[in-house]
């Protein structure tokens, strides 16, 4: 049987890639999980491994070729019957492991560097379910990212060795697939409910939420882009179901148990790995730093007027919405240039000054608050900043943030104003030395040249580590941001 060797899914916002290096040639015998070829994007190098033992039958895309996601770049003649001088896929023997009932191991993928173990988050199939090649079987959750494990061949999931919640390590076997097997009639309905396209219409966090409530993606109407199911869609579905159940309760048989309204209940749920990590880091930040917060306020009317005047033209020209974050990031970057202590960090008894500007953007996701990094913001236009933040937010929502997206960052911006927060004291994101909190824009009476005017005002809060940043620098940094936001032309004129 000939198996197609395909380009894997590319990172968000990456349209194509390049075939960098083939490590095998036609006729070479390969083993399952052996690296066959490196695919290079402008951000990462992806390894394509053999899905089964066999012989390389054909290479369709040579080194240097430009390819897209899911493009077939080669063919593998599967099984022990394949000879070293493999014939073309069309004439290769049809006998293969997938038709012989071979047991294929479902393994934990390689974990990100510095991550020792992971947790089995959600099995999307159960023993006896029919599966298809490349179907997502299980989500593996680390404290930073969610990894999807797909089926290596068509068949039946015959065994689950590690249930949800189990702690596992890289390459550990967590299940067994019987290749080429067919689900029994009694199991067919369950298998039929497994949708190959679930990963296209719902991210890992949403699918996990669906599984927790015994739902399928098809049960919930998606309101996101392209019919995508969001967390809010699931919550609305559960709310409507609960309301319908409550309305039907009086008609239930007398023998059915009835729970009185207002009954005291509690639910115990284990913390996710991400939540544990957040809790640990917050305690470390509180206990290991001398954290203080200083406040100021900014008149947002100049930026709001600028947005109202140019937002339509800006969107047409740059295919990006002109929001507030582009101005915030630009102002912060300029302020960091003027106050290098705020862009520095403590390492033991040393102070490390960074001559680059990587800003962490706090993003709320279904799994919790994460802080992916926008890199080299001093070299970015406002349009590039807006597009960069949009891409990070989408990846966070869909559970597709990578370790590279999360690592580094010299300063953090968090915007609680999107949730209605008027004032807060943000907590540091170690080893960073400062974090800026933006808040709700609220109309307030202000004294302007001896007269009272109603202006859209916003509070700024800068939390900082007093071990490295003195009060003078912290106040000066915040005042610089205030001045730049109140007169955005300074950002354009570098004043």
Q: Which of 466, 487, 489, 494 is catalytic?
A: 466
Please name the residues in contact with 40: beta carbons below 8 A apart, sequence gap of 6 or more. Answer: 17, 18, 19, 20, 46
Q: Tokens 């014939």 identify what position?
A: 87
- Distances 318 to 91, 321, 324, 382 between C-alpha atoms, Å: 51, 8, 16, 10
Our answer to whether residue 466 is catalytic in this structure is yes
User: The tokens of 399 are what?
Assistant: 């559970």
Point out the catalytic residue in the list 470, 487, 489, 494: 470
Q: Which of 368, 349, 360, 334 is nearest to 483 (CA)?
A: 334
Q: By three-state DSSP, how is residue 177 classified?
A: strand
If phi > 0 it is left, if psi is from -120 to 50 it is alpha, else beta; for residue 319 that is left
The residue whose two tokens read 């402008």 is 42
DSSP string, 243-284: HHHHHHGGGS-TTS--PPTT-------PPPHHHHHHHHHHHH
Q: Cα Rg for the chain, rounded, in angstroms?
A: 27
Cβ atoms of residues 233 and 203 within 8 Å:
no
Closest C-alpha to 377, from 419, 343, 416, 424 = 343
3-state class percentages of the chain: helix first, strand second, coil last, to nearest 5 = 30, 30, 40
Q: Find tokens 């550990």 and name the residue.
A: 172
| Residues taking part in catalysis | 466, 470
């Amino acid at each position: 049987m000939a198996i197609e060797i395909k380009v894997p899914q590319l990172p968000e916002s990456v349209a194509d890639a390049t075939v960098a290096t083939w490590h095998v040639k036609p006729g070479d015998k390969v083993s399952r999980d052996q690296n066959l070829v490196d695919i290079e994007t402008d951000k990462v190098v992806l390894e394509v491994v053999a899905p089964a033992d066999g012989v390389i039958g054909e290479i369709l895309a040579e080194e240097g070729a430009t390819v897209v996601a899911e493009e077939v770049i080669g063919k593998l003649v599967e099984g022990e019957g394949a000879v070293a001088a493999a014939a073309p896929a069309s004439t290769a023997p049809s006998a293969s492991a997938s038709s012989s009932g071979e047991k294929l191991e479902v393994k934990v993928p390689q974990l990100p560097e510095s991550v020792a173990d992971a947790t089995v988050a959600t099995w999307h199939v159960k023993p006896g379910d029919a599966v298809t090649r490349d179907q997502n079987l299980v989500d593996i959750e680390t404290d930073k990212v969610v990894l999807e494990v797909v089926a290596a061949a068509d068949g039946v999931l015959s065994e689950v060795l590690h249930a949800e919640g189990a702690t596992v390590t890289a390459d550990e076997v967590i299940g067994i697939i019987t290749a080429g097997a067919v689900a029994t009639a009694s199991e067919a309905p369950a298998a039929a409910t497994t949708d190959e396209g679930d990963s296209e219409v719902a991210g890992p966090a949403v699918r996990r939420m669906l599984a927790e409530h015994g739902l399928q993606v098809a049960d919930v109407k998606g309101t996101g882009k392209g019919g995508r199911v969001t967390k809010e869609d699931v919550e609305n579905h559960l709310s409507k179901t609960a309301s319908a159940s409550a309305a039907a309760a009086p008609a239930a048989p007398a023998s059915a148990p009835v729970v009185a309204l207002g009954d005291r209940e509690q639910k115990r749920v284990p913390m996710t790995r991400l939540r544990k990590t957040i809790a640990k880091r917050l305690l470390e930040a509180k206990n290991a730093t001398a954290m203080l917060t200083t406040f100021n306020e900014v008149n947002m009317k100049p930026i709001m007027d600028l947005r109202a005047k140019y937002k339509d033209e800006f969107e047409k020209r740059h295919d990006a919405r002109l929001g507030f974050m582009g101005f915030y990031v630009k102002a912060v970057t300029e302020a960091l240039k003027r106050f290098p202590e705020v862009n520095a960090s403590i390492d033991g008894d040393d102070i490390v000054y960074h001559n680059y500007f990587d800003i962490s953007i706090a993003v709320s996701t279904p799994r919790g608050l994460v802080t992916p990094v926008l890199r080299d913001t001093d070299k970015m236009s406002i349009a590039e900043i807006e597009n960069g933040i949009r891409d990070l937010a989408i990846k966070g929502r869909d559970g597709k943030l990578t370790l590279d997206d999360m690592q580094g960052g010299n300063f953090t911006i968090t915007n609680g104003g999107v949730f209605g927060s008027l004032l807060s004291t943000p907590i540091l994101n170690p080893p960073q030395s400062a974090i800026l909190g933006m808040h709700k824009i609220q109309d307030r009476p202000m004294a302007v040249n001896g007269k009272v005017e109603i202006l859209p005002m916003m509070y700024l809060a800068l939390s900082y580590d007093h071990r490295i940043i003195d009060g003078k620098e912290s106040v000066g940094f915040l005042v610089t941001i205030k001045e730049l936001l109140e007169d955005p032309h300074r950002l354009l004129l570098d004043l």
